[in-house]
Structure 1
Amino acid sequence: MIRQTGIQLKKEFFEAWRRKRILVLVIVFVATGLMSPTLAKLTPEIMRAALPAGMALQLPAPSAADAWTQFFKNSLQFGLLAMVLFHADTLCGEIERSTLVNLLTKGMNRTAVVLGKTMYLLSIWTLGFWGSFLVSWGYTGYFFPDSGQLHILTSCLLLWLYGVLFLSLMITASAIAASSMQSLLLMALVLGSSMLLGIFQKIKDYDPFTLGSRNLEWLTGSAKISHSWPAILLALLLILVAIGSANRIFSRRQL
């Protein structure tokens, strides 16, 4: 099983490199890291330049919190979105194109296929996210000397965990769907459901999807991370359930 999973993992990386997906994702994540503090720094100047001549506008000086707020938004809107768009068909696409038939008939275990694809996705997300974090951390520290007052690592760690959860659910959606479009529609349904859950403030400490929306609160210390342990534990449980469900569903699908 371990050897077959390794073979599938190498296959995923080779195919992603051949199709230039890795190159595009590197550009997206690096751009996210560069863009976040830069936008925070330049936004007041851009807004002043857009005003009619003679009109004054008092804006607060940009801070490190503004830069990290941009990073949180951009990581989801660009980095994670690119991951989903590129890999929504990670399982259903293989079935649709019948590209796994030869491997499976030669003895490749379906569980190894699911695990290899999962490891590939989580590896790319982890490397991309933390690489983007380092770029943003360096530029934010250069532009804003007040960075040391923030809980940066904790906030980013929980955002990374949210990405792991979202990609794990995408793997399940891809195992269920018949095409990449169906997989994307299922993920849109998941996103919509998570937004509806966010309306109920009483369950926010138990809602695993708040790991991608409360990062500014944790960054500034206005919310305590200890209160969100139920959401973190539930997120970890959902990740395991999602991957296990994907394996179970894919094992029963006809190629």
Structure 2
Amino acid sequence: MTPLLAFITKEWLEAARTGKIIILTLLFVMFGIMNPAIAKLMPWMMEILSNTMAENGLMVTDIQVDAMTSWTQFFKNIPMALIAFVLIFSDIFTKEYKSGTLLLVLTKGLSRYKVVLAKTMLLLSLWTVGYGLCFAITYGYNAYFWDNDIANNLFVSAALWWLFGVWVICLMILLSSLLQNNTGVILCVGGTMLAAYALSIIPKAKAYSPTVLMNANSLLTGAEGIDAYAHAIAIAALLCIACVAASIPIVNKRQL
């Protein structure tokens, strides 16, 4: 077994031992089930509320739900899963700095850049599997209850949101390698997201903000094509590479 593979295995076992993988799995499964469940229960919930609303002079019409309703819930709920992911793994480097365990690994001959690559590969693998699991569960329930064909560009929309998550994770890796504690990492990730969102408000700069990748509804309804996201895709991909690449010299110069 190569040192890189051995370190990835060690990181995975540690994540499993501390319960992080179980928590992530439960979260992604829960959100995957929740999306069609909310859509299915929505007419019943509105019927319960209709009596109260009628007393206030408001009329509630019949609500028709379909797979599009469930997919709308999917893209509303998946940000919470990403937030949970960041909260759980924001200490990916800061904990190593505090405990000194990284020094033990380096003394066994593993290069520092391989440490960065190993941690990146692990986190992106966990995000990909978790996100894919959530998507597959929602897709399966939607296919059973309704018809997924109503959603345009479904897999492209899902891929765009996956890429957004990859960018956030790469940013988290950079900040965790740079800062002293995970609280600072969380705050800086949140601040960067706000800055990117503020950029998307500017009409001329909107197409270049990675947060545009979160807007899947326009693709699902067919209001926009994939071309509208080309700049955001390119910027997000470049930022992912830049974040990981910048993490390597930071870790190389870090005093352990």
TM range (shorter): over 0.9
Please name the residue that 1:63 is paired with. 66
Deviations 1:57-76 (A, max 9, x none): 11431222221111112111
Alpha-carbon distance in 1 for matches of 2:209, 2:179: 26
Please name the residue that 1:41 is paired with. 40
Please name the residue that 2:137 is paired with. 135
- Correspondence 1:196 to 2:195: no
Change in CA separation of 1:4 and 1:146 when aligned onto 2, cut-off 3 Å: closer
Q: Which of 149, 152, 155 is 1:153 aligned to?
A: 155
CA contact (8 A) 2:151 2:220 kept: no
Change in CA separation of 1:169 and 1:149 when aligned onto 2, cut-off 3 Å: closer
Q: CA deviation at 1:25?
A: 0.8
Letter in 2 for 1:24: I
Please name the residue that 1:237 is paired with. 238
CA contact (8 A) 1:4 1:109 kept: no
Unpaired segments ≥5 residues, structure 1: none
RMSD: 1.7
Q: TM-score, normalised by structure 1?
A: 0.93
Q: CA deviation at 1:235?
A: 0.9
Q: CA deviation at 1:149?
A: 4.5
Alpha-carbon distance in 1 for matches of 2:232, 2:128: 20
Q: CA deviation at 1:3?
A: 2.7
Helix, strand or coil for the counterpart of 2:201? coil
Alpha-carbon distance in 2 for matches of 1:24, 1:139: 22
Q: Which of 145, 161, 164 is 1:162 aligned to?
A: 164
Aligned structure 1 segments of 4 or more residues deviating by more than 3 angstroms: 51-54, 146-149
Change in CA separation of 1:64 and 1:101 when aligned onto 2, cut-off 3 Å: same
Alpha-carbon distance in 2 for matches of 1:94, 1:146: 44
Alpha-carbon distance in 1 for matches of 2:93, 2:75: 28
Unpaired segments ≥5 residues, structure 2: none
Letter in 2 for 1:123: S
Q: CA deviation at 1:28?
A: 0.6
Alpha-carbon distance in 2 for matches of 1:54, 1:181: 43
Alpha-carbon distance in 2 for matches of 1:54, 1:197: 39
Alpha-carbon distance in 1 for matches of 2:200, 2:232: 12
- Correspondence 1:9 to 2:11: no
CA contact (8 A) 1:65 1:150 kept: no
Q: CA deviation at 1:186?
A: 0.9
Q: TM-score, normalised by structure 2?
A: 0.93
Give the paired residue count: 252
CA contact (8 A) 1:110 1:250 kept: yes
Q: CA deviation at 1:4?
A: 2.6
Q: CA deviation at 1:106?
A: 2.4
Please name the residue that 1:75 is paired with. 78
CA contact (8 A) 1:172 1:242 kept: yes
Please name the residue that 2:110 is paired with. 108
